[in-house]
């Protein structure tokens, strides 16, 4: 059961990484416009159009 | 709006020298508009950042130096087909955003805690042969996670419960807090005494689900609040300021200073306290004095913000510039919009208020009964915790507001802004729809078509008078001379306006009002969709021919309403021929013409006595009494302030389609509210006796309670969803048929 001494902290660490990532995205305003973000991903605004 | 708008006053500058401007966007129909607007503005000189928020239909512009011109941006958007309504983000909205983020942060912590504890607990609950040392280790680790996580994530509940207790009241957060704390304390005790089970998992799961429900509820409310703020921007917290050179400029109310001169047109509320420089009118001061009789006012009289100007153009010298009185009133209107508490909701609130004491008493009785029957103190306490947890009234409390919030969000997406508290339910019950013609069935823009045949001097004078009125036909005449002054006029509802010009009375209005029946007869039969507006000033007279075009989707929408079983009527103050033609095109058999405001109210009364639930749709000053008298009412955004205030809902845009969507969403919402109330009552009827009988563990109690809340919330999310996709599918078809209707006219 000594493996638990390794696995339990590892599980907690992984969870904590997710938590930190979420807090960061919340702080950087990624949850401000949920509807817009859903559509923006489909827009090719980074491609320059040749006219 | 004929006057220009003073944009610059709403720009906010940050410390770093970046200037920022926020505005609500009107005319955004789909996600492609995001890119349309952002790309369209991106190459403006000096602009640093342009960002559209699609969720609440807002635009933020940021720039640093003087090379950027805000009016260029406005002009470009206007040419692209979008209208901007500037506004200031209110303090309350900022606070809402902050609360929402705090809830989300708590939710993340609670979720993290619950998941990790669950990971450990599953092993304990499932593994029957787990050795005691490992079990104690797992319990210990769980405690280390649960106690700080609960201390952080439980704050919204703990602080609310504490505040309630200190005020000597009970609210729903009290049983939640007591339940969670008892479960945690019990668990720590169990862990220290090496018992078989601890309940950290239940406590954390409960917190997570409660926070989830609270966050969803809050997020939806915040959205309506944002809508309401946009609505406030549309609702012009603006005043028409008169510049020393005679020009008018629309200025945000907050920027009006003492000694400024402000113009107020008939049908508008006075934005400030002041005294009248020129003009005469009657004022409805019921908002301030409670006196319903209208007060005639003239030059030199002192007038107060919030009074409603009935029939004359007033120029007012500002005495008190705070503007607080009207702002207060607008805030109250907004409160009405966002709280939107209908009869059902009040019922739910009442139930919740009774509920909290009942829950505590129930839990106490349970514990006592089990003790009396000889159970151990430990078992009795666990059962009582179960009762506390399972009766968390989330389902009952969420049942109605969740539906309302989702429905008003769906309505917003369809371009409808709710105005009145119980509008959703009343709209859902309507069965007879009465349309006004001018400005409602017809497009808000109309044109004078015989301008080239009328003496230019007469048009100048007529436009000057027309500018003082908010009637759509008058606006058409005013549009002939886009730049120019206005004069003092007196508006007689349903007839026209008159003014004193060079010592002689000039009248603009209906043919009979200007005594020009003979001239109108001489014209012979004219094109029936032309409205005649007469003008007389001494010997000079003219008949303006104003053509109205139907809103592009009027024909299809009326047909669809008829197919849905609504009975449709047209009530217009316009000439018989004009109404008849429109009624024919739209296929409406029931129509009335030449109706005065009181005739419209009488007709509504008649329908009410016949047991009909009427829905009035109108925009004019003359429709305001009818809108207030009808069972439910909707008005287009072009309507005057008075009319909008009388209506239950306001719809945006040129098309009539939002009306049918409103009715569909309202019906769906009412259905779901009833369903949700039934669901939560049934849940409690079954769950509470089971919990009292001790048949549930705290874990199952937490899962069941959360499940019922989720069920109710998910059920609420259905409000408006189906109808919108249906509407989108048909919108392209509508546009085609609308085009046909327009070419036919």
Q: What is the pLDDT of residues B75-107, one digit of tens each?
A: 788 777 777 776 656 666 677 778 888 898 999
Confidence of residue A13 (pLDDT cuts 50, 70, 90): very high
User: With pLDDT > 90 as the criterion, what percentage of chain B qualifies?
Assistant: 6
Which of the residues of B are catalytic? 436
Quote the DSSP letter at residue B655. -
pTM of the shown model: 0.57
Is pLDDT at B738 greater than 50 in this prediction?
no
- Are B669 and B720 in contact by the 8 Å Cβ rule? The answer is yes
Q: Mind telling me how many Å the CA of A38 is from chain B's nearest CA?
A: 9
Coil vs helix vs strand at B340 = coil
Identify the residue with better confidence: B662 or B237. B662
Q: How many residue contacts between A and B have a Cβ separation below 8 Å?
A: 54
- Are B89 and B22 in contact by the 8 Å Cβ rule? The answer is yes
Per residue, the 3-state secondary structure of B106-139, as one string, reads: HHHHHHHHHHHHHHHHHHHHHCCCCCHHHHHHHH
User: With pLDDT > 70 as the criterion, what percentage of chain B qualifies?
Assistant: 78
Range list of H helices, B373-471: 377-390, 394-413, 423-429, 456-466
- Are B650 and B637 in contact by the 8 Å Cβ rule? The answer is yes
- Whether residue B35 and residue A43 make contact (CB cut-off 8 A), yes or no, is yes
pLDDT at position B149: 94
CA B541-B546-B550 angle, to 5 degrees, is: 165
Q: Mind telling me how many Å the CA of B414 is from chain A's nearest CA?
A: 15
pLDDT at position B227: 60
The length of chain A is: 51
For A26-30, B334-338, B554-558, which range has the lowest pLDDT when averaged over its residues?
Answer: B334-338
| Cβ atoms within 10 Å of B415's Cβ, excluding its own | 21
- Token pair listed for B402: 């969740």
CA–CA separation, B526 and B531 (whole Å): 10
For residue B482, how far is the Cα from the chain centroid?
Answer: 32
Query: Is residue A13 within 8 angstroms of chain B, CB to CB?
Result: no
Query: Is residue B137 within 8 angstroms of chain A, CB to CB?
Result: yes
Q: What is the mean pLDDT of residues B578-598?
A: 84
Quote the DSSP letter at residue B452. G
Query: Is residue A10 within 8 angstroms of chain B, CB to CB?
Result: no
Report which of B458, B348, B361 is spatially closest to residue B403, judged by C-alpha positions.
B348
Q: How far apart are the first and last CA of chain A?
A: 67
Strand blocks (E) in B37-195 = 47-53, 58-63, 83-86
Report which of B623, B169, B743 is spatially closest to residue B634, judged by C-alpha positions.
B623
pLDDT at position A47: 65
Query: Is residue A32 within 8 angstroms of chain B, CB to CB?
Result: yes
pLDDT at position B742: 34
Helix B721-744 and helix B554-563, axial crossing angle in degrees, nearest 10: 130
> In angstroms, what CA-CA distances link B255 with B4, B11, B240?
15, 12, 11
pLDDT at position B574: 75
- What residues of chain B lie within 8 A of the CB of A23, using their CB? 105, 108
ipTM over 0.95: no
């Amino acid at each position: 059961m000594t493996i638990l001494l390794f696995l339990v902290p590892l599980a907690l660490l992984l969870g904590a990484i997710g938590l930190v990532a979420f807090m960061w995205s919340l702080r950087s305003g990624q949850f401000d416009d949920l509807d817009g973000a859903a559509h923006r991903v489909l827009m090719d605004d980074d491609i320059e159009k040749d006219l | 709006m004929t006057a220009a708008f003073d944009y610059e006053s709403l720009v906010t500058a940050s410390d770093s020298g970046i200037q920022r401007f926020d505005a609500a966007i009107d005319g955004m129909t789909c996600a492609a508009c995001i890119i349309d607007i952002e790309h369209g503005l991106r190459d403006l000189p000096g602009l640093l950042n342009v960002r559209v928020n699609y969720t609440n239909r807002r635009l933020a512009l940021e720039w640093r130096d003087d090379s950027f011109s805000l009016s260029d941006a406005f002009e470009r958007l206007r040419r692209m087909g979008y209208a901007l309504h500037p506004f200031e983000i209110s303090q309350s909205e900022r606070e809402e955003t902050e609360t929402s983020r705090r809830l989300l942060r708590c939710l993340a912590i609670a979720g993290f805690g619950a998941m990790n504890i669950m990971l450990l607990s599953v092993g304990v609950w499932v593994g029957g042969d787990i050795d005691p040392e490992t079990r104690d280790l797992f319990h210990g680790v769980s405690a280390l996670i649960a106690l700080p996580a609960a201390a952080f994530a439980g704050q919204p509940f703990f602080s609310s419960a504490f505040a309630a207790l200190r005020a000597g009241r009970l609210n729903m957060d009290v049983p939640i807090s007591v339940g969670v704390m008892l479960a945690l304390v019990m668990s720590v005790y169990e862990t220290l005494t090496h018992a078989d089970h601890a309940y950290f998992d239940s406590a954390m799961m409960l917190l997570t689900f409660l926070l989830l429900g609270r966050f969803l509820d809050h997020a939806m409310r915040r959205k309506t609040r944002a809508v309401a703020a946009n609505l406030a921007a549309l609702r012009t917290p603006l005043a028409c300021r008169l510049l020393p050179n005679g020009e008018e400029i629309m200025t945000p109310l907050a920027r009006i200073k003492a000694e400024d001169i402000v113009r107020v047109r008939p049908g508008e509320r006075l934005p400030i306290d002041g005294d009248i420089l020129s003009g005469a009118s009657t004022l409805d001061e019921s908002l301030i004095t409670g006196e319903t009789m209208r007060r005639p006012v003239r030059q030199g009289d002192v007038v107060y913000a919030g009074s409603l100007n009935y029939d004359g153009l007033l120029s007012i010298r500002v005495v008190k510039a705070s503007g607080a009185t009207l702002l207060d009133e607008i805030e109250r209107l907004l409160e009405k919009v966002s709280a939107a508490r209908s009869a059902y909701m009040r019922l739910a609130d009442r139930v919740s208020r009774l509920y909290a004491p009942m829950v505590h008493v129930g839990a106490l009785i349970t514990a006592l009964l089990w003790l009396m029957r000889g159970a151990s103190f430990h078992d009795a306490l666990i059962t009582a915790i179960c009762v506390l947890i399972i009766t968390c009234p989330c389902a009952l409390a969420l049942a109605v507001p969740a539906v309302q919030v989702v429905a008003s969000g769906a309505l917003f997406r369809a371009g409808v802004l709710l105005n009145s508290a119980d509008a959703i339910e009343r709209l859902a019950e309507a069965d007879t729809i009465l349309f006004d013609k001018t400005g409602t069935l017809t497009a808000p823009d109309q044109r004078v078509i015989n301008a080239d045949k009328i003496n230019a001097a007469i048009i100048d004078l007529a436009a000057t008078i027309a500018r003082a009125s908010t009637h759509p036909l008058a606006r058409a005449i005013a549009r002939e001379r886009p730049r120019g002054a206005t004069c003092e006029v007196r508006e007689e509802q349903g007839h026209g306006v008159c003014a004193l010009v060079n010592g002689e009375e000039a009248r603009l209005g209906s043919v009979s009002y200007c005594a020009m029946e003979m001239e109108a007869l001489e014209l012979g039969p004219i094109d029936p969709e032309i409205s005649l507006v007469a003008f007389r000033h001494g010997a000079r007279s003219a008949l303006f021919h104003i053509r109205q075009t139907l809103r592009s989707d009027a024909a299809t929408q009326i047909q669809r309403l008829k197919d849905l079983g609504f009975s449709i009527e047209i009530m217009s103050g316009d000439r018989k021929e004009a109404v008849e033609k429109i009624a024919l095109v739209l296929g409406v058999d029931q129509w009335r013409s030449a109706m005065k405001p009181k005739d419209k109210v009488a007709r509504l009364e008649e329908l009410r006595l016949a047991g009909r639930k009427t829905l009035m749709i109108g925009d004019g000053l003359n429709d305001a009494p009818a809108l207030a008298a009808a069972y439910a009412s909707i008005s287009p955004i072009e309507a005057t302030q008075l009319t909008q205030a009388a209506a239950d809902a306001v719809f945006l845009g040129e098309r009539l389609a939002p009306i049918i969507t409103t009715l569909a969403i309202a019906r769906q919402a009412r259905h779901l509210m009833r369903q949700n109330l039934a669901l939560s009552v049934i849940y409690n009827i079954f769950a509470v006796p089971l919990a009292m009988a001790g048949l549930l563990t705290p874990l199952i109690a937490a899962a069941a309670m959360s499940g019922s809340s989720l069920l109710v919330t998910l059920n609420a999310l259905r409000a408006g969803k189906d109808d919108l996709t249906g509407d989108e599918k048909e919108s392209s078809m509508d546009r085609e048929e609308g085009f046909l209707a327009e070419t036919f006219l």
